[in-house]
Amino acid sequence: MEKIHILHADMDAFFSAVEQRENPELKGKAVIVGGVNLSNRGVVSTASYEARKFGVHSAMPVAQAKKLCPDGIYLPARHKLYKNASREIFSILKKYTPLVEKLSIDEAFLDVKGCDRLYGSAVEIAKKIKNEVKKETELTISVGVSVNKFLAKLASDYDKPDGLTVIKKNDIKNFMRKLDIDQIWGVGDVFSSKLAEENIYKASDIWPYSLEELKKRYGKAGVKLFFLSRGIDKREVKSQSQIKSISHEETFADNIEDRDRLFAYLFKMSEKVSFRLHSNSLKGSTVFIKVRYSDFSTYSRQNSLKVAVNSSEEIYQRAKELLIQNDLLNKPLRLLGLGVSNLCQEGQEQLNLFAEGEDQLDKTIDQLKRKYGFNKISRARKLYLNNDD
């Protein structure tokens, strides 16, 4: 039987919890952390569990939050403080396994296969992590334990805050049977509405469909849906040191010649690459693109930069320049891809004083994507794709 060996560790209401730790008078109160300034046009970054009882949640406009919770305590984000707390937490996680894949400042996947002789079973390791985080940082962390990343992530969300949920192989079918379809990664509002038209509301509603049917109806998203609805996820946990480059590519059902549509796809890919770079605290100094035509001829081009980047706008602009300058859009494309290599840790690169605003916008959007799904928020540039994934 396949052993459970994947953990997903996720801090509970991280920013507001750190604020409550720093100021004990805030404990037990509705604490809402927002942007640099808390104008009504701002967005909630994190809400304490006390604030969530009023309906306040991440990504909500501050103006709406104040209507729901007028007596809440609204604080500007203090990112340096949260980064210091994050370093404490990750130093604990890395004690138990070198295979720690950082997803954001407050969550990570761990692969603890082979660590049982030192630290016990995966569940025992999860308990030790929870206890140590509580003891060393005075914060709580929820941990999900299962056979793969997708299920471990679902498990960590199941019993927050301060939860520990285990999904064993024999539990998968029953667990997935009751799961709402929009809890599957990649199923946003548009896709879930499409599925609702087919009376698909739960993961188990997908089971009667064959892989071929779903692929024909929904393309790559249908293939992903087939496997994830059954709790199948083959992705491995990768530590930052194992990541040499980050890329994304799209093979189109029909060859595309329309430049505006191709540029919209290019920006969508830039967002995905940027999201993964930010999640691993990485930047890269080489942007590369790949195109394939209808005759299957394939070309790649790259450009090295003086300043390492991870913002979606920077990646998009450099990739767009490569396509135009090398005249690669002179006939319809079957495939388009882009990526970033020559990676380094954030903070170790040469600084670009003008990129900070764009970087903060990217990070805000990334946070909302993690919370509500990748396709639920984006920039207007991608609207050209309409219902394309």
Looking at the fold, whether 46 and 166 belong to one and the same domain comes out as yes
Looking at the fold, whether 312 and 333 belong to one and the same domain comes out as yes
- What's 278's domain CATH number? 3.30.1490.100
Looking at the fold, whether 310 and 335 belong to one and the same domain comes out as yes
3-state secondary structure of 61: strand
Q: Is 159 part of any known ligand binding site?
A: no
Q: Is 389 part of any known ligand binding site?
A: no
Looking at the fold, whether 218 and 150 belong to one and the same domain comes out as no
* pLDDT at residue number 350: 46
Our count of domains for the chain comes to 3
pLDDT digits (tens, 9 = 90+) for 198-256: 999 999 999 999 999 999 988 888 999 999 999 999 999 988 766 788 999 888 878 99
- What's 76's domain CATH number? 3.30.70.270
Looking at the fold, whether 165 and 182 belong to one and the same domain comes out as no
- What's 223's domain CATH number? 1.10.150.20
Domain membership flag for residue 236: no
Domain span at 35: 1-172
Domain membership flag for residue 304: yes
> Which residue among the candidates 107, 271, 314, 349 is catalytic per the annotation?
107
What six digits make up the tokens of 138? 């005075």
How far lies 83's CA from each of 15, 50, 91, 170, 340, in Å? 10, 23, 12, 38, 25
3-state secondary structure of 216: helix
Looking at the fold, whether 219 and 247 belong to one and the same domain comes out as no
* pLDDT at residue number 381: 53
Q: How far apart are CA 42 and CA 40, in angstroms?
A: 5
What six digits make up the tokens of 187? 């199923």
Whether the model pTM is above 0.75: no
Looking at the fold, whether 144 and 185 belong to one and the same domain comes out as no
Looking at the fold, whether 356 and 266 belong to one and the same domain comes out as yes
What six digits make up the tokens of 359? 């970087």
How far lies 272's CA from each of 112, 174, 279, in Å? 27, 32, 11
Whether 349 is a known active-site residue: answer no
Do residues 362 and 341 touch, judged by C-beta distance below 8 A?
no
Domain membership flag for residue 31: yes
What is the per-residue burial (b if ≥16 Cβ within 10 Å, else e) of 5-25? Answer: bbbbbbbbbbbbbbbbeeeee
pLDDT digits (tens, 9 = 90+) for 125-138: 999 999 999 999 99
Domain membership flag for residue 266: yes
Domain membership flag for residue 289: yes
User: Tokens 């103006």 label which residue?
Assistant: 63
In which residue ranges of the chain is pLDDT below 70? 1-2, 35-41, 241-242, 347-389
How far lies 336's CA from each of 47, 262, 288, in Å? 39, 8, 11
Q: How far apart are CA 115 and CA 97, in angstroms?
A: 7
Domain membership flag for residue 233: no
* pLDDT at residue number 202: 95
Looking at the fold, whether 109 and 252 belong to one and the same domain comes out as no
Looking at the fold, whether 116 and 261 belong to one and the same domain comes out as no
Looking at the fold, whether 265 and 185 belong to one and the same domain comes out as no
